[in-house]
Structure formats: structure tokens, C-alpha cells
Amino acid sequence: MKNKKVSAIVSSMIIGMTGTVSSLPNTVYAEETPDTVIEKNLDQEMKNNKQTEDAQVEEKSIQRGENKYKLDHIYRNNNANGKEISKQVKESLQSVKYEKNDVIANLLAPNRFSGVDKLNKKQEIAKRDNISITNVADAQVEKELKEDNVHVMSYGQSFLDTQKEIEHIIQKLVENSTIEQGYTGDPNQYFIDKITKNKEKLLLGIAYIDRLYDFNIGNKNIKEILTYTPNYYGKQIDPLDWLIRIGGSGGEMLKVSNNLKAFANLFKGVVTDKGSLLSFLEDNKNRFAPNIKMEEWFKKASKAIIVEQPSQSNPNATTNLYSKLSSEIGLQAHILPLLTVSENSIYVITNSATITYGLVDSYVDRSLKESNNTLYQEKINQFKQQLEKAAKQQHDFIEFWYRLGKPKVHSLLSTNRLVIDSLRIYNSQTTNPSKEWSPKFGDGAAIGVKEFITPLNLYANYFMADGQAEGSQVRLFLAKALDERGLCTYTHELTHLLVGTVWLNNNKQREGLEAEFYPRGLFETYELDEPVLNLNLIYDHNGKERFHNSSPERFKTDKDLQEYTSGLFDVLYTLDYAEANVILKKDKSDKQKWFHKLEQINDTRKRFNQGNSKATHKIDSIRKISTDEANELNTIYDLIDKNIITSRYEVEGLKTTGNVPSNGYYVVPLFSSNYAGVQNNNGVSGDVMMRSQAYELIAEYGYYDGLVPYLSNQYKAQADKDGKVLSDEYILGKIFEGKYATMTDFKKAMFNKRIDKKEQLKPVSIVWKNQKVTIDNFNKLNELMTDAIESDLKNVQELPTGWNNIRAQNTQVELLKKEIFKAYLKETDDFNKSIYRNDHKIIKHNKYINGYPDNTFRQENKITRGEMATMLTRIILDGKQVPITENKFNDISNDYWAKNEVNYLASKGLLNGYEDGTFRPENPITRAEVATILVRSNGDIKQKFKKIFPDIDDSHWANKYIEKAAELGYMLGYEDGSFKPDQVITRGETVVTLNRIYRNPCDLKETNNSKILFTDLDKNNWAYNDIVKAILSHEHVEK
């Protein structure tokens, strides 16, 4: 009943062995809950059986599960004067110094300090006191470790707050506590003696509850209930005894990180019957705030600044903080500290894959709070905007991988990986990150470090790196998570954790390629706005001048990724060709100056991921060329054959020659021309060339048919079976499928593809040398390139250090390339459109299936053999008249409606009849028959690998066709892994299958589907899009 007050007397009474009931003093009131039914009954029983105030209750032991709590000789106290007692014990309690008290230090000490802790402390003392480490006494080490631990335990502020309010606290505790049976002395003295004797334990017990349970649920404060009336939850318990017990439970139990264990040992069965901290919180929420969800209450109750990012790609993924924390036992201990952290101390970002913890102090100068609070609040508001933006960008990175990743790896993106932000404290006067690093504890530590990071064992000492992957989590040092550098680090470190699974489709990292190969220059989004080969998978750079896509939203599918990369290389190959076209007309001395040679040499470093012991892995090595070698360079193909790169290519730092060690942090420059195409026939090639060629393979073959097999162990099992090293040669043979013999041949073909279209370039305008210049043909580009090369030949000189006097990106050639590239990037809307004129063909797709006269489609109806022949013929001919061919079947009459279609396909060898010469056109067609027809109509049945369906073996007549259809992606199996070859195919399944092969590029928006009004079909139907494509004639723009 709303707002009705009832007595919580149930938890302040003892039912004696004789059945008599003694009440505890000072009834506490609470809103009526289901438990108050019991309270009312006991209240009435108490009134009926009330005894005298000095009634004694025999000793009674209460046991709940593993926990025991004994109420010894409890005597109802009615005479003690709480106010007077509090005054008398005040001085004693306030004299205890949390950080300077040996009793406190011992009560909070862990069971043992590790050998590492002791050694580190010895070294610290020796350095501080300028003595030999051998002269540092063990007793001193132990003492100082205990003193440090007092800080780490993080009860100092709660301890101080308790002492400030100690009179009020003690008065209420005395008024709610009891005296043991048999005590005949002064009641006041009883409590005075008990409190002063156990003062350290009592103070720690109170501080523990204050530290971890000082939060509201509804209009109730849980700390207040637990401190003064823990019996509210239905257990017979003395508050003073319980708090003393908590304070004396030992350092291990009192660790903030062990609050789940403490609940199980000190709360469960003692204060509540709830079996876990989570159920206890849920119980309180149901009592005091029943109309709000747990996750909503938690987010509102916590003083942490929390930003949660739901997943659009996986709406079922858990993204709210409370659910993520409660789902893992190792994270449940974070719940209470997050409810009690100070305001503006900790921030949290969640998405489906990660939980990021960070300090507000890393971004906002906390000293402003005292000196200029108005400005401080402005900075906090700005910080919150920065937090929201960074959270969105983290989310967008994970969403990209949901879109690109295959369904089988999606679950690996639904995790609770921790990302611990840098612990640098904002300081506008300091540029040294190590000096900004928050201490683990003490006056100089950030509030969030003292209250959350350190107590939960999340602290780490400063390390000179942007970040690192630690087990399954990520930690940042130099980089700050909310800055672009930190977002870059986010992509880098998650690549370390997920590359072999999500990124590479569970194929693992390729043998010979080590950890640092994959992030920088490949999957990490580079934070510097430099002209390097890179995909922007995290930043929102809309409106910025850039050399990459504006945001991850550019890539909805792997086809988008291929389209973008292909457009990018349209520009790069064209620009590199234009450069070669000019310089190759120069004399050999100019060519010698302009070009270097890239070679593959054996890597002498032992690789962690060596793989096959017979493999010989390579590194890139760049050297100068001789005049004789220069004289042999006359065509673009000579440059490719001889693995030539531009001499301005910065190889080792700023040096333009030297070796490129494996497993390094490399990016591939966009505009330093590289004509080489390399492959290692017995392992992997050099790191830079592998990165560059991986992008080129995406451009031509796509992500899953190009990059993934090239950089993973996708073909390892087959290579092992064939007795081969998983080499470039072996993998490229699989990718190229015989079209190109080597990477060199592939590179030539890629250049030829762009050279053939150089006269079709769309015009673009750039600002060059302070003038607007329009490049509307290749000759104009050639003219500009000639001037730029002439300038660089004259002005770029090699220095004794091996550097050039002008950096590559500041040469005239690269500055020109930059402007042209940016112009095309903008003109094509991040290569959503081609850089070429007339590159798109308009293709008309004719409908190939109809609905029924009653405005139904009947997608579950079976397809007959005759209907299938008709649909396939309509698709193949796509509007052309069906040729009249000889009738091959004795059951196809001249007036049969699909006679021409059946015989046309038969004449092409795409379908057969039966041994008796019939075709049986009205028979429903099976999935095996469809697979056979589709494979025959699209090539041979040579297989690269075998798809195994449990319901198909070699004895099935269509086995090879089914396997090939599955391999090519024409037909898929069912969720249980079966193919069901003899099951009849439906109308809905048929159009989905045919569209998968023939109309996949077609976008539904290219059709006018407003008139689709089948009464048995709506837009939520699983086959709706494919039915629209099949039933409406429409035009399709083919790129």
C-alpha cells in the first residue's frame, strides 16, 4: 500500500527458546514490502507475548549456509544513554589515525606480501636512504608495505568522514544494539568498554559500509540501513557486533576487489538470505524502486560518467554497463565501487566488445574546481561532449567489424574486454607524460585512481608506449583513449587481440608474420593525417581534408571495401604511371638518381611465428642502382620486372636505403612510387611489400578472396597436405587461379588496366602553385608531372646522412600527387563513383517470374521443372527472344507453354531428361537438380575445396554439382548443416538462389517496388527483396 509506514520490527526481535519474544529498541520504519507481512505477524506476536525489559534469552546460534553468526546472551537494552556514550568515546575514536596506526595497518594487511613486493620495497628504501640493499631490514620492509597497503585499501576518506560524524553514529548504533545476558553493571559502561576495546575494528567496519554501500535505491540509502538496522532484511543481528566483525575480518576480506567474497562471508546468511551481491541489489531495487530496470537504476545511481553505445549490427549484443559487469564474475566486483566513486572522477564507455575505464582528471584540470568552479563546469561539459564523440567512434570501429566479419565470428565481438585509459593527470604546464602519471596512492594520486583503479587492481606503472594488449584487455599509457591518438591505439591493440579470429575469419595469423605486422599500416587506423595507405575504420573525419575515407560508414559490405580500394589504386597507378612516363624519357644519370632497387633478402632474425621449419622468410632491402641498371629502365614493365621504387622512398627513418627489419611499425606511403611486385617461393616476403600488396589484392579480389588468404593460414592445412611451405607462391597460386603466374605479372596487369583508361579520366580541379588548375586529360597531368620532376631533379639532393635534403612528402612530385588524389577522393565521394568517364553501363534486368491472378505470390509453392527452365532461360537471355531448337523430349508437345525454353537449355547441355526420353516438365524440381543446372550454366565442376554436407555422400548422383554449387556460393545448406538434395525447391527459395548468382549487384532501390501489393507478402518477409528483383523489370547501373 503506497506510503503506508510499517514497523521493521522483524529484524529487531529474538524469539527465545521458550517462545517468548523480546524486542530490540528503536524501531526503524520502512515502506511496506512483501516481507512486511511477516513483520506484521511478528509485531502482533510481540505485543501478545511482551516480557519484562530484563527478560533473558538463552544463547542461540544462527546458521545460514556456510555462514555462522552467534547472538550470545542478548539482553534488550533500554537503559543505555546513546548520546552520553557517544560523547565519552568520541575522543578515543577520533584519536585513531588511519594512515599512522599499527593496529589499522595490521587489520588491513594481506595474508602475505609477495617476494616481488618485498624486493621492490627493498630497492625503493635502499635508493631513498642511499644504503645498500643488504642493509635494509626485513622488519622495515614489512612495516612500509603495510603502510602502503593502508593507502591501497582506500578507506581513508570514509574513515575520516566516519570520525567527523562519530557522535551521531555511535548514538544511533547504541540505540539499536544490545547487551549480553548476565551483564549487571552500568549499561553505559558496557558500551563504552566494548567500543573503546574494539575501536579500530569498529571504525573500519563503519568505513567499509560507507566506502562500498553509500548509495540510494529509490529514496532509501543502503549504507544507512546496513549500518544501523541490518536486521531490516529479516535476520536477527546486532549492528555493533556485526560492524566490529567486519572490521576484524582481515585484510584479504576487506580488499575492495574482494567485495563479492566479503558479501558471501559477512552478509549472506547473516544480514540477508540473498545468495549473492547481485541478488541482494536486485532485492533492494525491487523493494525501493520496483518501476525501474536494474541497468537503468545503476547508471543513474553511479556518479561515474557512463556512455553506453548499443549495437545496430547486433541489437541482441549486451552494451549496458550493469549487464556487462554482472555477466562476468571477474567484473561483478566493479559494481559497488562504481556506485560510490566521487563525482567527476571516473568515466566509462561501453559497446558490444569493450568496457573503457578512464579518469576525468586526465582531461580536465581538477584544480579549477577550487580556483574557478564556473570554468571547471564548462570544462566538464566539454569533456562530456568529447566522451560522447569518442564513444561513438569506438562503437563505429566495432560496428565496422560486425559488418565486415562473417557470422561465425560475430560472437567474438560480444565481449567485455577492459580498456584502461592512460592515468596521466591533466597539466597544462607539463609536456612530460611520465611526470603526469598518477601515483598509485597518496595526495598526488587522481581521485579516480585512489577510489577505483588502485583498489580494483587496475593500476600499472608508467610505460613508454602508447598502449599495450595485456592478456585479453588493453591498457593505454602515452595515448589518451578519447583523443585521436588513443582511438588509433584502440584499433591497434584490438587488432593484436582479434586479428587471428575476427579480422582473418578464424584462419589465424599467417606463418612467418608476427604480431606487429598486422596493426600499423594495415588494420590500425593511423592517427597522423599523413598520405599513407590506410583505411579509416574509426574516425569521423567528415568535412576534413584527408587522404582516406571520411568514416567507417563508407564500408557497409566487403564489396564497398573493394570498391573504395580499387578506386584508390585507380588514382595511384595512374599517378605512378605518369611519373614513370616522364622520368623514363630522361638519361641514365637522371634515372639513376630517381630510382632505387627493392630486393628480398633472408631474414636473419629468429621469428616467433616461424611456422614450417623449412620456410625461409624475407625482409625488404633497398639499394641504389648502377648506371648500367639505370640504362636498362625504359618502360613501365622494366620498372616492375626489376622491382624498382623511387629513390625518395624513406626506408629506415629518413634514410632512403637500407634494410627493413621484420615485425616493425611501418606505414606504406601513398605517393612514393613503388613499382615492385614480389613474392617469396618459400615463405613470406618483407613487411612493407606484404602490406602494400595486401591492399592491391583487396582492390582486385576483395577482402575475403584477396587479403584474408594472403595474410592468414587459410590454406595452411592444404599446404601441409600437399607437402608445401605456406609461401607467397603457394597462396598467390590459389588467389590468382592461374590467371597470373607471379605477383610481377599481376602488377603489370593492374598497371595496364589503368593505362588503358588514362584517356577516360574525369576532369578535376586543384590549386597548384596558388592557381586553380583543371586536369581534364592525361596530357595535362603529364605536363604538370613533367614540371614537378624537373624541379625535384634540380633541387632534391642526398645528404651525407643518407637522407634527402627535402623529405619525400615535400617534394614537388608528391605535393602534386597529393592535390590530385584529394581532388579525386572528393569528386568521387570517397570512391563511391569511378574516376573515369563513361565507366558505368546501364543494364536492363527483365522480370522472370510472375504472381498469381488473385494478387498472391505463394512463395512456398513448389517450382516445376518446366517453370525452372523458363525462369533460367529468361535470366540468361534477359529480354532476348528464345531461339527455336529441336524438341528433344517425347512428353513436350508443340503447344506446351515452355517448349522453347526447355529445349533451349537442353541444346546448351544445361539440363537433361530421363532415360525414357521424357522431361516430365510438371514434376517439382529438387534442390539437387537445381544445383546441377546452375553449375552447368556457369562453368565446369572443377573444385578448389570440398563442402561436406552430412546428408550427401559420393554415391549421390549430383554430389559433385552440389559441392561445386556450395563452393561457388550459389546454394547454401540449412542451419543443421544439411543440404536436403531431394527436397523440392520453393518459389521463394528459387528467386533467392537465382538472384544470388545473376542479380547480386542489383540494389533494391533501383526498382520501383511501390506497386508490389501481394496480399501474402510484406516487406518483412525474408525473401521480399529478392522477389521484388525477380518480379519487376528494372535498370541496373553496373560499375
Query: Using CA atoms, how far apart are residues 931 and 915, in angstroms rounded to an integer?
Result: 20
Q: Indicate the DSSP class of residue 646.
A: E
Paired strand residues for 61 = 70
Question: Nearest 5°: phi and psi at 516?
Answer: -80, -5
Mean pLDDT of 694-710: 98
* Statement: residue 838 has pLDDT above 90: no
Give the Cα separation of 294 and 503 in Å (integer). Answer: 34
- Beta strands of 661-803 (E only): which ranges? 764-768, 771-775
Q: If we measure between CA atoms, which residue out of 709, 736, 731 comes closest to residue 719?
A: 731
Partners of 355 in the β-ladder: 350, 418
CA distance 1014 to 779: 56
**What type of residue sits at position 238?**
D
What number is the average pLDDT over the span 774-778? 96
- Phi, psi values for residue 22, rounded to 5°: -115, 130
Per cent of the chain over pLDDT 70 is: 89
Residue identified by cell 520496483 is: 290
| Contact yes or no for 490/538 (Cβ under 8 A) | yes
Around Cβ 340, how many Cβ atoms within 10 Å? 21
| 943, pLDDT greater than 90 | no
Is the full-model pTM beyond 0.85?
Answer: no
pLDDT band at 852 (very low <50, low <70, confident <90, very high): confident
Residue 420 parent element (H or E):
strand 417-420
User: For the residues 897-925, what does the mean pLDDT come to?
Assistant: 90
Q: What is the pLDDT of residue 1034?
A: 74
Whether residue 426 contacts residue 441, with contact meaning beta carbons closer than 8 Å, is answered with no
3-class DSSP state of 449: helix
Cα–Cα distance for residue pair 167/170, rounded to 1 Å: 5
**Alpha helices by DSSP H, 558-616:** 558-583, 588-594
Mean pLDDT to the nearest integer, 4-14: 32
Flag whether pLDDT at 3 surpasses 80.
no
Question: What would the DSSP string read from start to end of 171-238?
Answer: HHHHHT--EETT--S-HHHHHHHHHHHTHHHHHHHHHHHHHHH--EETTEEHHHHHHH-GGGGS----
What nine digits make up the cell of 837? 568517364
Is residue 266 scored above 80 in pLDDT? yes
695 against 14, higher pLDDT: 695
Distance between CA atoms of residues 685 and 999, nearest Å? 39
Q: What is each CA distance from 107 to 18, 104, 173, 238, 934, in whole angstroms?
A: 40, 5, 22, 22, 78
CA dihedral 408, 411, 412, 416 (to 10 degrees): 180
- Rounded Cα–Cα distance for residues 596 and 626 (Å): 9
The answer to whether 948 and 967 have CB atoms below 8 angstroms apart is no
Residue holding cell 603466374? 741
**Backbone CA torsion sign across 854, 859, 861, 865:** positive
- Helices then strands, each counted (H, E), the chain: 40, 24
Cα angle value 36/236/74 (rounded, 5°): 135
**Greater pLDDT, 623 or 874:** 623
CA distance 749 to 755: 10
Do residues 451 and 154 make contact, with C-beta atoms less than 8 angstroms apart?
yes
pLDDT of residue 21: 28
CB 48 within 8 A of CB 6: no
Which three cell numbers mark 978? 544439411
CA 827 to chain centre: 32
Provide the 10 A C-beta neighbour count for residue 515. Answer: 14
Mean pLDDT rounded to a whole number for the chain: 89
Helix (H, G, I), strand (E, B) or coil at 470: strand
pLDDT of residue 947: 60
> Which pLDDT band, with edges at 50, 70 and 90, does 276 fall under?
very high
Q: Report the distance separating Cα 127 and Cα 526, nearest Å.
A: 41
Q: How far apart are CA 703 and CA 960, in angstroms?
A: 27
Average pLDDT estimate for 880-896: 90
> How crowded is residue 1020: how many other Cβ atoms within 10 Å of its Cβ?
6
Cα atoms in the Cβ-side hemisphere of radius 13 Å centred on 643: 16
How much is the pLDDT for 35? 37
Q: Which residue has the cell 584519536?
A: 95
Of the listed ranges 36-45, 92-101, 784-793, the one predicted with least confidence: 36-45
Over range 142-167, report the average pLDDT.
Answer: 97
More confident residue, 786 or 883: 786
Tell me the per-residue pLDDT of 64-119, one tens digit each, with 9 for 90 and over: 333 333 333 344 455 899 999 999 999 999 999 999 999 999 999 999 999 999 99
512 close to 647: Cβ distance less than 8 angstroms? no
Q: What is the pLDDT of residues 526-562, one digit of tens each?
A: 988 899 999 999 999 998 999 999 999 999 999 999 9
Q: Which amino acid is at 650?
A: E
Contact between 399 and 311 (Cβ < 8 Å): yes
d(CA 968, CA 932): 13
- Taking only the tens place, the pLDDT of each residue in 423-454 is 999 988 877 899 999 999 999 999 999 999 99
> Cα–Cα–Cα angle for 400, 402, 405, nearest 5°?
100
What is the sign of the dihedral through the CA atoms of 869, 875, 877 and 879?
positive
**Long-range Cβ contact pairs of 902-911 (< 8 A, separation 24 or more):** 902/865, 902/866, 902/869, 904/873, 905/869, 905/872, 905/873, 905/933, 905/937, 908/937, 909/936, 910/872, 910/936, 910/937, 911/865, 911/869, 911/936
Which tens digits make up the pLDDT trace of 494-506? 999 999 999 999 9
Mean pLDDT in residue range 665-677: 98
- Is the model's pLDDT at 238 over the cut of 50? yes
Q: What is the largest CA-CA distance in the chain?
A: 121
pLDDT greater than 60 at residue 56: no
Least confident of 332-341, 846-855, 1017-1026: 1017-1026
The single-letter DSSP state of residue 760 is: G
pLDDT of residue 408 exceeding 90: yes
Per-residue pLDDT band for 402 (boundaries 50, 70, 90) equals very high
What pLDDT does residue 1013 have?
64
What is the C-alpha separation between 259 and 265, in angstroms, rounded? 10
d(CA 69, CA 138): 38
Residue 1014, classed as helix, strand or coil, is coil
- Measured distance CA(984)–CA(924) in Å, rounded: 6
Residue 612's nearest CA partner among 680, 531, 706, 563 is 680
The whole-number pLDDT of residue 78 equals 52
Q: Is 986 helix (H, G, I), strand (E, B) or coil?
A: strand
- Give the pLDDT confidence score for residue 529 in this predicted structure: 84
| CA separation for the pair 87, 501 (Å, rounded) | 66
10 Å CB burial of residue 27 (0-12, 13-18, 19+) is: middle
Residue 912 in this model has a pLDDT that exceeds 90? no
Pull the grid cell for residue 266.
559477512
